[in-house]
Homo-oligomer: A and B are copies of this chain.
Amino acid sequence: MLNRKLRMGMIGGGPGAFIGAVHRIAAFMDGQIELVCGAFSSDPEKSKQAGEQLNLPLTRVYGSYKEMIRAEKALPPDQQMEFVSIVTPNHVHFEPAKLALENGFHVVLDKPMTFDLKEAQLLKEIAAKSGLYFCLTHTYTGFPMVKEARQQVLSGKFGKIRKVYVEYPQGWLSSFIEADNNKQASWRTDPKQSGIAGAMGDIGTHAFNLAEYVSGLQVTKLCADINIVVDGRKLDDDGAVLLKFDNGASGVLMATQIATGEENNVKIRVYGEKGSLEWKQDDCNSLLVKWPDKPMEIFRAGAAYTSSFSRHNTRIPPGHPEGYLEAFANHYRNFALTVKTSLNGGKPTPEMLDFPGTEDGVRGMNFVEKVIASGKSDAKWIEFDK
């Protein structure tokens, strides 16, 4: 393993940005990554402010991502950034990611992958050609007990999977807060920045990714009820989706931002012939495993009896709760371990490589397009692109 921190440049994440700060905590937590440069805002003055607060030398704070990528590439190899972290709104995902990959920088990208499906498919190809690593930060698959859930399903212990319920109920958009200059609400409800979907892109894609990740299955068609509940809103803030999976299983996905009083209790239940499991963010260090003929079992994060995938992604003993930031950090840590192992000429382990990538991103954008199309359609089922 390389015995030094990986050098990160950040695109976006300036003053007032929620997710940029989260990315930084996640990146720093495990001592594997250092921030060496950034283009934190399209406004050079704001970018500079952010750089100062982050204690960066001003020579490494840039007014645009283009400038940053060009300038960093010109630095000596042992100084230049080694990967970019892109934390901008959706409409500024594709171009910087493309440019970074084409200039030899690995990429960490906030979800959803791009503005539309076409961009996602293109970006997947570009990444594949580049031979570089790409991580899409679908937070919830970073939780150790979500990884445990997937491993238990893949082990076959539950038999054939028959039913998947996944839900993401939020309440923060239950009133028209985009009118109040709420930065988070504004771009997420603006078609020019978010694309064709609001809630479906923002949290529907998380739920969708979680369902496919844990079940090990792929959705083949869906039937959606998509709503704009709050008057004046421009994009969907609520949806419910019937799903069909490639093994014949069915499912239900519920994602809403108008569930007044709800926080972020993402939850998934997967039912097989022989047993089933349940995980939710509100009790994120537990995995419930249910059987028809013996007591329910509660698997706990960090326990010695859990899989290598789960244990690799915990830091402290069972009962000392790890949470959202650690789940997020797991993606950064695994990405960094993967890059560092490769730089060192080694072969990353399956546990290191278990972070979301371009295929997840394309699937997610496919979901966005199909779910919005279904919402507008009188036909019952809409098929996914192959």
Contacts and interface: CB of A to CB of B under 8 A. Distances in A.
Interface of A: 3-5, 18, 21-22, 24-25, 28-31, 52-55, 158, 162-163, 165, 167, 169, 171-172, 174-175, 223, 225, 227, 229, 238, 240, 242, 244, 250-252, 254, 256, 258-265, 269, 271-276, 281-284, 289-300, 303-305, 315-326, 377-381
Contact of A291 (B31, B225, B261): B261
Contacts of A18: 317
A31 B350 CA distance: 30
Contacts of A275: 260-261
Given A252-B254, A293-B305, A378-B380, 15 more contacts: A4-B55, A21-B315, A31-B54, A169-B269, A171-B271, A242-B242, A261-B276, A261-B290, A261-B292, A262-B271, A263-B320, A320-B325, A321-B324, A325-B325, A378-B381
A258 B271 contact: yes
Q: Report how many copies the assembly holds.
A: 4
Given A259-B271, A319-B265, A379-B380, A292 B240 contact: no
A18 to B, nearest CB: 8
B289 A171 contact: no
Nearest to A143: B321
B3 A273 contact: no
Contact of A273 (B29, B165, B174, B273): B174
Contacts of A323: 320-323, 326
Given A296-B300, A298-B295, A380-B378, A284 B223 contact: no
A299 B293 contact: no
A176 to B, nearest CB: 11
A251 B169 CA distance: 13
B315 A320 contact: no
A229 B162 CA distance: 8
A304 B300 contact: no
B258 A5 contact: no
Contacts of A282: 319, 321
A244 B240 CA distance: 12
Contacts of A291: 260-261
Given A163-B238, A319-B265, A324-B322, A295 B297 contact: yes
A256 B297 CA distance: 22
A251 B299 CA distance: 28
A267 to B, nearest CB: 11
A259 B271 CA distance: 6
Nearest to A229: B162
A271 B262 CA distance: 9
Contacts of A223: 223, 225, 242, 380
A300 B293 CA distance: 11
B295 A300 contact: yes
A166 to B, nearest CB: 12
Contact of A293 (B229, B250, B304, B325): B304
B296 A259 contact: no
A296 B52 contact: no
B5 A55 contact: yes
